[in-house]
Structure 1
Amino acid sequence: MKLVIVDYGMGNLKSVTSALRYLGFYDIELSNEFSVLQRADKLILPGVGNYARAMSKINELQLTSSIRQLVLDEKKPILGICLGMQLMGQSSTETAHNTGLGLINGVVESFVRKDLKVPHVGYNQVTPCTNSRLYSALHANPDYYFTHSFRMTSNADIGVTTCIYGEEFVASFEIDNIAGVQFHPELSQTNGLHLLKNFVELF
């Protein structure tokens, strides 16, 4: 099983790699080369930081078309983590309006309620979608570690798992070969490790 972590310069690469190795997955490569991404059995798109800066780096590396081809045309499984999940949507209002990768129908915006402490940091429970692969064999309403200032919403049928932090938002989604999580599974102890294992083995 070859796992390739997409390296565009803004991901939590060491923590994700360490978590996967802890689970016994050792064939892991970090790359932004199309030929390497194409050889992957599964792709992981991490991300930490500003949406506009991340998309700028991805576009500079000509990764947008590469990722879309591999995921949408060749149906290669991919997991987006935190900012990586947000980048998989249509757009974000962080730092003006920015266009994302467009892998799924979702938009990223700031929290509406002004009384909420932002960023949202800490453990929160999620409510998994029906027949979820990501949360397979996990107890009901598991908790995960979040740290984010913007959140995704979607009305599309993309297997949404929700979280409530003052208001409801997309904690994760999963449809066909595409999955994304707003939280950090690599920092979420047993529940996070279980979810990563589920992605590698069930997608």
Structure 2
Amino acid sequence: MAALRIALAAAVVALALAAPVAAQQQRDAERRLQEVRRELRDVATERRRLEGRRGSAARALRAADERVAAASDALRRTESELADGELALAELAARRGELQQRLAAQRSELAQLLRAAHAIGDHAALKLLLAQDRVGEANRALAYHRYLQRQRARRIRDLATELSELDAVEREIAERREALDQARERQRRQLAELERERGQRAGTVAELEQRHADRRDRENALGR
């Protein structure tokens, strides 16, 4: 009986000693559970916040893409207009060369006619004295030369007018080209700035995507 009482007493003592340890373990488990739940709530809240930021960043990136595309189209149109202007100037330069050659030829012919008419005029009186029957022929030749002179002079005036009009067109195209050159430089700078901004927004989207994925993985791990 004494041995039994001793065994019972030992058991009671053991239970008394084990009870605080079990209680502490229970409290520790509950505390860890609360910490996990709190972290899970925090992670879920952060994930939802990142979803909102990610959506806003993605919309901003799409808008940046549209601005870059619009700026690229505008730059291409400007460069196309510049190419057309260069072609037009080249065609006008060729036309100018042709007109200048024709003008030089007309002036040369007019100079020859003037010299011939002068020669006929100088010899008209002598011909009148030497051969009365040739006076009419000389007068007709002189009249014909004067007619040719008027024709050449009129043609020269027409060519000069055409060259003057050509000058005006060339000036207009040159002024337009200068304006387009300036516009192209502005558009290039604008496009470079938009592409830089677009790159920054793409980086922001990538960063938010990664952070969101990390929070989702952590949330899944805590929920197991």
Q: Is this a same-fold pair by TM over 0.5?
A: no
Higher relative contact order (CA 8 A, sep 6+): 2
Using the size of structure 2 for normalisation, the TM-score is 0.15
Structure with the higher strand share, 1 or 2: 1
Using the size of structure 1 for normalisation, the TM-score is 0.16
Q: Which has the larger radius of gyration?
A: 2
